[in-house]
Every structure is written in structure tokens, then in C-alpha cells.
């Protein structure tokens, strides 16, 4: 790397709503980014933005359902970019419904993306970070993993597991100077949220406006408002935070 002190961040779900906001926030801060996503095409504009800012960026696209991909990804990033200082386990999947409506596929797919992939990525990243003197892992959990909402059983269970994983890792690896925390958003104005409304036959704009009215601060979160908190948790400003679940909910618990 041209700048030996430049930090390297691996971000999963890089092309999604929160993922894009995190990538852009990091690039603006001069943090080099490794973009993990299913689609090479969807991250090309982010690579172009990095080039314009003269901040190193590389795409490491693949499927988080592939255990080999998840197991090997941190080492690939470390070898290609010279370090791995920050891991953002951001990729996520939401399946809706009461337990009597959920399928085996809903459960297995949600567990694979929301729990198993962060487990594998963290397991592979921690030795690299420890060897380098420390690092940071930030998980995108959910308020719904702390205070379960109605008719989202599988989603709530997986996010609760990720929240528990965060607390366990934070405790177990603090002595290695590896800080593990999670951001717990409530509703966020992302393509995933809007697609969910459309699948149910709702007008996405009207549904978002209804949600806005339920939030004390007056609107559901924009992706950038979550990315700001993730950037804080990845920075030295949060150096005494470890194993924390940070709710970002606009006052709506």
C-alpha cells in the first residue's frame, strides 16, 4: 500500500442501502475498502468513486452462502491489500411471517446469511487482527433482535443471535485489542425495506410515510444515519466500547 498507516475495511453487502453508505463514509475518511457483494456490476460505481478520491478499493465478490468464500475472504483481503483492520458484517436478509408461515428455506437461508456468514468471517478475521495488534468488528444487528416485533420470527431470531455473538466476541477478544460492537437500527429506508412493502402489495412511498409518523424524531433512518454510527464504532472515538449493542432508532424502541 502507498500509505502503510491506511486502515483497510472489509464490508459485506457493499452494494445495499446501508453498505453503500458505509463504503462512501469510509472512503471520505480515507479508509481503504474491500467490497464484498454478490454482484461485480453493482459495485463498479463504488470502485469509480474510490478511484476519484484516490483511496484504494477492491472488489471481492462472491456468495456468502458458500462456506469456502466466507472462510477465505478475510485472508484474501489481507493478502491483496496488505492488512485487515476493520470488518463490517453488514450483509443481511429478511424473511417475514409467523412461524406457521415460514418455510425450512426461510429459516436455513436467513441463518446462513445473518448468522453463519458473520460467524465464519469473524472467525477468519480475528487471528489476522490479533497478529496485527488489534482491529474492529462491527455487526449490523437490529432493534428487532433486542425487542422482537410481530410476525418476523425468523428475522428476529437471527438478529438476536448476531447480537449475542457480538457480546460474546466482545468479551472474548478484548484482551487482543479487538473491539466487537453492533449497531441495532430500527426501520431504515433501504431497497430491502421498500421491496418488502412491494411484495405485500403496498405502495412503498406511502408505507414509508406511515412508518415516519411512528418515529418520535419524525422519520425512519436514512442509510447514512446508520453509516455514521458504524463509522463511529469503527473509529478510535469509540475505543472504550466493546460488546455493545447500539440502538439507532429515532426514539422508537
Closest of 60, 127, 119, 134 to residue 89, by C-alpha: 119
Active site annotation includes 155? yes
Length reported for the chain: 253
For 159-185, b where at least 16 C-beta lie within 10 A, e where not — what string?
A: bbbbbebbbebbeebeeeebbbbbbbb
Q: How far is CA 185 from CA 35, 83, 85, 116, 182, in A?
A: 22, 29, 24, 20, 10
Which residue has 418520535 as its cell numbers? 216
From the number of C-beta atoms within 10 Å of its C-beta (0-12, 13-18, 19+), residue 111 rates as middle
| Helix or strand (DSSP H, E) at 34 | strand 32-36
Among candidate residues 69, 147, 155, 240, the one labeled active-site is 155
What is the C-alpha R_g of the chain? Answer: 17
Report residue 244 as a C-alpha cell: 455493545
Cross-strand bridge partners of residue 219: none
What is the set of active-site residues?
155
Amino acid at each position: 500500500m502507498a500509505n502503510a498507516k491506511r486502515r483497510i475495511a472489509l464490508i459485506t453487502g457493499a452494494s445495499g442501502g446501508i453498505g453503500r453508505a458505509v463504503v462512501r463514509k469510509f472512503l471520505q475518511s480515507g479508509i481503504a475498502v474491500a467490497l464484498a457483494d454478490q454482484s461485480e456490476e453493482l459495485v463498479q460505481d463504488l470502485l469509480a468513486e474510490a478511484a476519484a478520491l484516490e483511496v484504494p478499493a477492491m472488489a471481492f465478490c462472491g456468495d456468502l452462502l458458500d462456506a469456502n468464500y466466507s472462510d477465505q475472504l478475510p485472508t484474501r483481503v489481507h493478502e491483496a491489500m496488505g492488512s485487515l483492520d476493520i470488518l463490517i458484517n453488514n450483509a443481511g436478509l429478511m424473511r417475514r411471517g409467523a412461524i406457521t408461515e415460514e418455510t425450512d428455506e426461510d429459516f436455513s437461508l436467513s441463518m446462513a446469511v445473518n448468522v453463519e456468514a458473520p460467524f465464519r468471517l469473524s472467525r477468519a478475521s480475528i487471528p489476522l487482527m490479533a497478529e496485527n495488534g488489534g482491529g474492529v468488528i462491527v455487526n449490523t444487528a437490529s432493534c428487532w433482535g433486542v425487542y422482537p416485533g410481530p410476525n418476523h420470527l425468523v428475522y428476529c431470531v437471527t438478529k438476536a443471535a448476531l447480537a449475542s455473538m457480538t457480546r460474546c466476541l466482545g468479551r472474548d477478544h478484548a484482551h487482543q485489542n479487538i473491539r466487537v460492537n453492533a449497531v441495532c437500527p430500527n426501520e431504515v429506508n433501504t431497497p430491502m425495506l421498500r421491496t418488502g412493502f412491494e411484495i405485500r402489495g403496498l405502495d412503498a412511498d406511502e408505507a414509508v410515510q406511515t412508518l415516519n409518523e411512528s418515529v418520535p424524531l419524525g422519520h425512519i433512518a436514512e442509510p447514512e444515519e446508520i453509516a455514521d454510527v458504524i463509522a463511529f464504532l469503527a473509529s478510535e472515538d469509540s475505543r472504550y466500547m466493546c460488546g455493545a449493542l447500539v440502538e439507532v432508532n429515532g426514539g422508537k424502541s
